[in-house]
Structure 1
Amino acid sequence: MNMLIIGPILVPFMLFKGLSYSQIMLLQSIAAISVFVFEVPTGAIADKFSRKFSLFLSGIFMATGILLYILFRNFYVFALAEILFGLGLTLSSGADSALLFESLKKIGKNEEYQRREGNAASYIFIGQAAGSVLSGFLYKYNHFLPFWISFGNLLVASLVALTFIEVEREKSEHRYVTHILKSFNVILKSPRILWAVCFAALMGFIVRVGYWMYQPYFAQVDLDIAWYGVIFFFFNMVAAFSSHFLVRRYSDERPRRVLLGLSTLMALSFILPIIFVAKWAIALLALQQIVRGLYRPTMNFYINHQIQDKYRATVISTVSLVANLSFAILSPVVGIMLDKKGTIPSYLFVGIVAASGTLALYLLRKKQKSRKASA
């Protein structure tokens, strides 16, 4: 589902469709709210019924969303497309990682989860890197070609998902609503998972908003659009290196320590480029790609070891839900700032949020550890 090649040209395409930065970020907020609404219900569906069918539907809904962007030029139709994207993302967010973890657990190799997911992510990033270079040239030739290719990729991925084999696993015996409430209870009673939820709220905003702020910075330093694909190739290769090699390098470190290091890198990635405003400073944005490669494998490894099979996809989906809620609330603020104040103040705002959030999470971690020691 991740093999889309529209990343480098998505913001220019939306501007081409007549949208402002405020409208673009409002659409992303709508997508995030959709994820907030659908996340836990779709995670529960994956837990109680079928992981692979959930992945199949994910691709179908996302492909339909892309088709709407290709065929129409209307904000409200784009809003519908973002709702479909949100639904598609939620159908895969808990199901894919749960399916992998349970398959490894079945054969007694669940300790390999972090490495395996890191390897899979690195292959995706390499594919996206190659597609990024291609998309820049395709976009100059025809603005719609990268979208048609991504549409086809999603349909193929949906069919492949139906060939997956699901292992026998413990399923929740509770009714749907009871299942969700019990999953929330698991989160509230586990300090480690509660910390992960708070961390996801921070990262859900700063990681996702970072992508939408690349193009404004490229414009700030007068980078020709022909180079966008090349820059994204570099970004994706950094992410591939991070997910393939750094995941292994830091697999023995305490996950919360690694996660705090990642949020620190995110803060630096917003602050340093506005200190050195220049084309070469685009390389500093690659700090976000290190985070992109490490974050998901580390976070999911951390969470998966804290929960039972029958609540796994729902709890993972809840973490994603909180991440999307924070993005939905704060992303329109960034869009308005980009239109009214410009790129530099917007980067400073996100950098301050990242730095202060990291400090708060570090203090929360210390408080939880001291409580455990005194218990």
Structure 2
Amino acid sequence: MTIVNKIPRYILPYPVIYFFVNFINGLTIPIIVIYYRYVGLNLFQIGLVSTIFELSIFILEIPTGFIADKFGRRFSILLSFLSFSVSGILYFLIRNIIGIMCASIMQGIGYTFISGSLQAWAIDTLKQNGDDSYIKSTIVSGTQSRRIGSLLGSVVGGYLGIKNINILWYFYIFLGFAAMVYSYIFVREKREKFLNNETKFSIKNLLYLDEISKVFIEKDKIIFITAILLFIISAIYEFSLSPVDEYWTVLFSEDLKISTFIIGLIAAISNIILIVSVAPIVNYLNKRLKDITAFLVVTILIICSLVLLASVKMVLISILVFILFRLFTGVYEPIMEYYLNGLLNDQYRATMLSVYSMAGSIGEILSGISIGAIAENKGINMAFYAGAISLSFELILFFIITKMQNMNIEHSR
């Protein structure tokens, strides 16, 4: 069984940089809310900071993706790590609501600069070297390195948060600059694929279908419509998964009476299982099923796990279902990313990957409003059921995509 897929040596910066991003920001996962309370933020202010963070990502996804396409993916990656370091400096130096909001915005900017540019660089570099066959294994390596980085970052961040919070911010800032130096040295790209100087960014233009259609491989309208449906799917997917992301620890601690230590252990085990299993599972699905069929299978498994999480009251079964839920969602990501990249042309790849991420942000924002109200008034279990129901709409969209592809195949014969 292959746990880690082989990828070309020149593309190794892709998983390494993803590790850096998730390790750096994983440092703050165990302590950030505690830190907010430590510097004097009340619950309303904490919620405000979280909202501003999500809005900064939502607003800046497309502009930063365009910057990556126009000025270079490496340039965008460097700006990402610079933004992370600046956010760490602000967190450390300005310990009030204004400083925290500014730091949160800079952190959001860092995410938007990396979200489309890194994968666009990797896919285009593989294509330029004639190594298209490594695209899926490269995407899988990114999924694994993200999980490893987040897991190790959380462990180190939790330890440093207990020992000395100042050392954590020093480390956070240092790693941002170190990752920027690494990216400058090892990320290499050819410039001929980028947008020319006459190409100007315009939100208005991106809203017109004839402009957006230029972003996709212009074979026929089927591909264009499929890509639009995938963007809708991205919003639905993030909307549906947000209840678990937000409330699983509350469900386990308050309803199932699981200790904080065990909850941390569950999170670690779920990440380790995903890291070890994602490559062989994706390889198996790649050999046995078409991409769209793999989508359907994995989506159905996620829906089933959501329903079980909402309904099962036995501790051990709930833990097992949660671990499987994390595994299914981890497998879903590289399958979706590979399929989506097949629909994009190289010139606008970073911009449209950012649009895809923005669609997911829309889903998260909508979920925070509606699912949050359901959880507050009807209970966490009902929020999970709502997530399962909304995710079921993905199956309808997948069915439409499959029908369109079959019609296209029959028409081409």
Give the TM-score taking structure 1 as reference length: 0.85
Which residue matches 2:105? Answer: 83
Structure 1, gaps ≥5 residues long: none
2:397 to 351, 354, 361: 361
Deviation at 1:200, TM superposition (A): 1.0
State yes or no: 1:184 paired with 2:212: yes
**Change over 3 Å in CA distance of 1:360–1:74 after alignment to 2:** farther
The 5 A counterparts of 1:330-369 are 330-354=367-391, 356-369=392-405
Which residue matches 2:322? Answer: 285
SS in 1 for 2:180: helix
Which residue matches 1:238? Answer: 273
The 5 A counterparts of 1:155-170 are 155-163=177-185, 164-170=187-193
The 5 A counterparts of 1:302-313 are 302-313=339-350
Aligned residues: 373
301-310 or 124-133, which deviates more: 124-133
Aligned-partner Cα distance in 1 for 2:129–2:410: 38
Which residue matches 2:23? Answer: 3
Aligned residues of 1:68 and 1:81 also touching (Cα < 8 A): yes
Q: Which amino acid letter does the alignment assign opposite residue 288 of structure 1?
A: F
State yes or no: 1:272 paired with 2:308: yes
Which residue matches 1:210? Answer: 244
Deviations 1:118-158 (A, max 9, x none): 12332342343344444445545556765654444333222
Aligned residues of 2:89 and 2:173 also touching (Cα < 8 A): yes
Larger radius of gyration: 2
Aligned-partner Cα distance in 2 for 1:57–1:114: 27
Which residue matches 1:223? Answer: 258
Which residue matches 1:172? Answer: 195
Higher relative contact order (CA 8 A, sep 6+): 1
211-220 or 88-97, which deviates more: 211-220
2:82 to 50, 57, 60: 60
SS in 1 for 2:275: helix
Deviation at 1:40, TM superposition (A): 1.3
Aligned residues of 1:135 and 1:229 also touching (Cα < 8 A): no
Which residue matches 2:140? Answer: 118
**Change over 3 Å in CA distance of 1:103–1:147 after alignment to 2:** same
27-36 or 196-205, which deviates more: 27-36
Aligned-partner Cα distance in 1 for 2:396–2:270: 29
Aligned-partner Cα distance in 2 for 1:219–1:267: 23
**Change over 3 Å in CA distance of 1:187–1:49 after alignment to 2:** closer
Q: Which amino acid letter does the alignment assign opposite residue 210 of structure 1?
A: V
Identical-pair percentage: 22
Aligned residues of 2:31 and 2:158 also touching (Cα < 8 A): no
Aligned residues of 2:243 and 2:383 also touching (Cα < 8 A): no
Deviation at 1:217, TM superposition (A): 2.0
Aligned residues of 2:66 and 2:201 also touching (Cα < 8 A): no
**Change over 3 Å in CA distance of 1:216–1:372 after alignment to 2:** same
Structure 2, gaps ≥5 residues long: 1-20
Deviation at 1:203, TM superposition (A): 1.7
Q: Which amino acid letter does the alignment assign opposite residue 122 of structure 1?
A: Q
Give the TM-score taking structure 2 as reference length: 0.78
